Copies of this chain bind each other. A is one copy, B any other.
Amino acid sequence: MTTGLQSSTGGRKRRVMILGADGYLGWPTGLHFCARGHDVMLIDNYARRAWDLEFSTDTLVPILTLEERVAAWHEISGRIMNFAVGDICDYHFLYEAFKDFKPDVIIHYGEQRCAPFSMVDREHAVMTQINNVQGTLNILYAMKDLTPHAHLVKLGTMGEYGTPNIDIEEGYIEITHKGRTDVLPYPKQPGSFYHLSKVHDSHNIMFCCRIWGLRATDLNQGVVYGLATEETVRDPALATRFDYDGIWGTCLNRYCVQALIGHPLTVYGRGGQTRGFLNIRDTLACVELAVLNPADPGEFRVFNQFTEQFSVLQLAQMVNEVAGKMGLKTGIQNLENPRIESEDHYYNAKHTSLIDLGLRPHLLSSETLENMISFISNYKERVCPEKILPWVKWGETRNRPAAAPHRIQPGSRVV
């Protein structure tokens, strides 16, 4: 099996509903499936953009509205994507969308996906868990009621597992205990209210597969980097978002932006935290592989979706080296870790199922990093340096900085 443009619809055209289709991954996923000839329905409620407004954060790379994006794509490719603006926590809306579109596959990115945001205070913790749990329960009931043969492709996270002192398997583990053996769900030790919400989802989905015969694939994804997919590079109007701030940004994005503006790369704690990472192109390939090779009825299938493991310090060192070659003056600085997590731990997570299905990884190279930094350098004037450092601390209920996130920033908005 191959992936990419050549694969077309993999021999069968699917009706693909994408929830959270305005997000960093949702939008490129829509383009990816539409470009390959599938029928695509995009759904989003713009929650992510509202959350940006709340703390005055913003994507570094300008993005259009869903309506403008879909129009631009039509103009560029001649292809049409359906879209609807609405909240999957509103069952009436979701039910009607299912009834109208009758999806074969539901790709579910439609959740609050950020650990620091979930740790801001009680309101954000509760909102994150209710939003994610209720949205997913609604999808499960809509599938049961209307499309019981459809396949749910749910984005989970490697963060569900935490950092156990044994190898991490893909969703299940065979345990021999006191002379008896069973294959059981892999024990979870998530590290934020957000990661906990994904664990709740996984348990709920597993149960619905068992009692209703639904089919689902839980993609426990690592940290995604990169902006360039086969479609997004075709025109700036098709770009996806790039978050670098202390709430929404991943460490690699933060490092790239810090390199760009000549700030030392800020590593949380000693930087020994090891995680799985993958290129955005591989995210799309993995999701496509899951879609084209669906789970069986009643099966709750779990894939670990990443291609390489790095410690956050290793990544800083890689970015530092590339930045140096690009003539950018930077360096590495250790910050007090705002999270409560182990900074020196065993980490070895299995991730062979997607390789077995045909994934050919794009590994992280100096060239990848150079391309990322080059690309974002087009938007250097949009960087807000005061937004980069972390202010949400796991051990404190609320620790908003006194001024910065609420300061008026004339001229820094996309629209």
Contacts and interface: CB of A to CB of B under 8 A. Distances in A.
Given A167-B178, A182-B165, A141 B189 contact: no
Interface stretch (A20-28, A65-73, A198-206, A226-234): A198-206
A212 interface: yes
Contact of A211 (B133, B203, B395): B395
A176 to B, nearest CB: 8
Interface stretch (A123-131, A285-293, A302-310): A123-131
Contacts of A175: 166, 173, 175, 177, 187
Q: Which of A129, A130, A203, A206 has the most CB of B within 10 A?
A: A203
Contact of A203 (B200, B207, B346, B395): B200
Nearest to A167: B178
B184 A185 contact: no
A196 interface: yes
A138 interface: yes
Contacts of A138: 122, 126
State the oligomeric state as a number of copies. 2
A200 B145 CA distance: 25
B166 A177 contact: yes
A395 B192 CA distance: 33
A83 interface: no
A137 B129 contact: yes
A199 B203 contact: yes
Interface residues of A, number: 50
A210 B125 CA distance: 16
B122 A126 contact: no
A188 B145 CA distance: 27
A196 B185 CA distance: 14
A36 interface: no
Interface string A187-225: 111111100100110011011001110000000000000
A211 B137 contact: no
Contacts of A187: 173, 175, 184-187
A107 B184 CA distance: 31
Given A91-B122, A175-B173, A397-B145, A184 B180 contact: no
Contacts of A191: 207
Interface of A: 91, 122, 125-126, 129-130, 133-134, 137-138, 141, 144-145, 164-167, 173, 175-178, 180-182, 184-193, 196, 199-200, 203-204, 206-207, 210-212, 340, 346, 394-395, 397
